Amino acid sequence: MNTLSKQSGFSRWVRIAVIGRNPKVTLMRIAVLIVACVAIFGFILLPIRVEGISMLPTYKDRSLNIINRLAYVRHEPQRGDVVGIRLAGPHVLYMKRIIGLPGETVAFENGRVLINGEVLDEPYEKTPCDWNCPPVKLGPDFYFVVGDNRRMPSEDHVFGKAERNRIVGKALL
């Protein structure tokens, strides 16, 4: 076998590996893949980067996470869910944990969360704090959200009521 025929066989193999045996089918597959990716990552799965240390140790500063926008299609958010909360526009989000549900009263007393006067068991909470906040009564469409890093002074932490229509979805990981 001569060198020219080896090169021709190699180039044919490379062409098949890159564009397939039928270029029209390959282009159609690429188009379908692009449309699927745009739909999934533009409308269903929303990437979010954690900025700051308010979600430590669960989510590290500058970590990239995914919010599932379809998580609450069939049911409402639950206590303990980590959610993306829209602030301004579709891509400015906070990532916080839900601790209070609609209709409940939420308070912090010596670092412990009280829901309707009862201490909330928070197995995900690893950092004790000394926060004291007066009771907040949640309306029918409001959730109480807070970060996991409670060692930060409460003045430096963004937490409180979040309206249901601002909750974009649930964190996947």
* Fold category of 50-171 in CATH: Umud Fragment, subunit A (2.10.109)
Q: DSSP letter at 121?
A: P
Burial (CB < 10 A; 0-12, 13-18, 19+), residue 85, is buried
Rounded-to-integer distance, Cα 86 and Cα 169, Å = 10
pTM of the full predicted structure?
0.79
Rounded-to-integer distance, Cα 137 and Cα 107, Å = 9
What is the residue extent of each domain of the chain? 3-42, 50-171
- Residues marked active site are found at 54, 96
Tens of pLDDT along the chain (173 residues) come to 555 455 567 777 777 777 777 888 888 888 999 999 888 887 889 888 888 888 888 889 989 899 999 999 999 999 999 999 998 776 678 899 999 999 999 999 988 999 999 999 988 887 778 888 899 999 999 999 998 888 888 777 788 899 999 999 999 87
Helix, strand, coil content of the chain in percent (nearest 5): 25, 30, 45
Name the pairing type of β-strands 118-119 and 112-115. antiparallel
